[in-house]
Amino acid sequence: MLRELPALALTVCLSSACWGQGYPNRPVRIIVTGGDTGMNEFMVRPEISSFADIRGKLVVVDAPNTAYALLAKKILKNAGLLEGRDYTVKPIGGTPQRIEAMEKSAENAAGMLNPPFSFAAKDKGLKSFGRAIDLLGPYQAGGAFVMRGWARANGPLLERYIAAYIESVRMATAPANRAQMISLIAARLKQDPKAAERSYEALMEPRFGLAPDARFDMEGFKAVLALRAEIEGQWGGKAPAPEKYIDLGYYERAMNLVERR
C-alpha cells in the first residue's frame, strides 16, 4: 500500500503542511492524523548549570527554522535569552551529529534531543533542563499530511491507510508486544537495550509519547502555529486559524473502519 501513497508521509506537521501557503505553485497540503509530541528535551553540556550559562555560546540545531529549533528558541526566550543577542544558533544536522557536537566542544552548549538519543546523551553526561511539553505545554509534532486534491481523488485508499496506521499504533502500545517493541527500537535505531527500553517507556507515557489511536491534538497544533508566528514572524506575527490546514474527516471514517473490523 505504501507504494500507492506517494503524496503521504509521516513527519513534523508544520514543516510541510503549512508551507503550502507559501508556495502557490504547489498543491495545498492538509493534515489528516496526529501522532506524537516530538518528545523533545532541552539538553545541555555537563558544566551548564543554568540557562544564564548559555549566554555567549552556541545552540546546535538541525536547521535554524525547523519546528524543534523554534522550541529551543522559545524556551530560551522564556528564560530571558534571545537569539543573536545572547546566543548563536548553529546548524549541525541530525540528532547524532548534534550530540557529537555537544560532546566535543564546550561552545556547543545546548540543543533539543528526543528518544532514544536523549537517553544516550544522558548516559554520556549531558543534562536535561526539562521536556518541551513541561516547559511550553502541548505540542502537535508527528502526523500524516497529504495533498488535498490527491485526498479527494483517493479518499477510500487514504482511509484504509489511516485505519492501518491506527491499528499499528494499537499494536505498538499493547503491553503484550513490549519485548518485541524494545527489540525493534534497539535494532532499527542502533541503540543499546537499556536506551531502547527507556525509549519504549517514554513512547508509552501519556501526553508525552505516542498519541492513542494517532489522535490529532488541536491545542498542540494551535501552539505550533503560535510558536512559528511568534519566533519566525510568519503570517505577520499572528497565527492563522488551524482549521485551514486540517481535514480530520478521513481520520473519522478510518476510525469507523477500525471499529467495524
Domain boundaries, the chain: 2-37+139-260, 41-133
Domains 2-37+139-260 and 41-133 share a fold: yes
The reported pTM is 0.88
> CA dihedral defined by 209, 211, 216, 220, rounded to 10 degrees?
-30
Residue 191 has what pLDDT? Answer: 87
137: exposed, middle or buried (Cβ count in 10 Å: 0-12, 13-18, 19+): exposed
Residue 79: closest CA among 129, 118, 128, 115: 129
Query: Which residues are within 8 A (CB) of 134 and not within 5 positions of it... i.e. 6 or more apart?
Result: none
How many residues does the structure list for the chain?
261
Residue 13 has what pLDDT? Answer: 44
Each residue of 60-96: pLDDT tens digit? 999 999 889 999 999 999 999 999 999 999 999 999 9
CATH architecture for segment(s) 2-37+139-260: 3-Layer(aba) Sandwich (3.40)
pLDDT at 212 over 70: yes
CATH of domain 41-133: 3.40.190.10
Cα distances (Å, whole numbers) of residue 2 to 8, 165, 166, 217, 258: 9, 11, 15, 25, 18
Each residue of 130-147: pLDDT tens digit? 999 999 999 999 999 899
Residue 261 has what pLDDT? Answer: 79
Radius of gyration of the chain (CA): 19
Which three cell numbers mark 176? 503484550
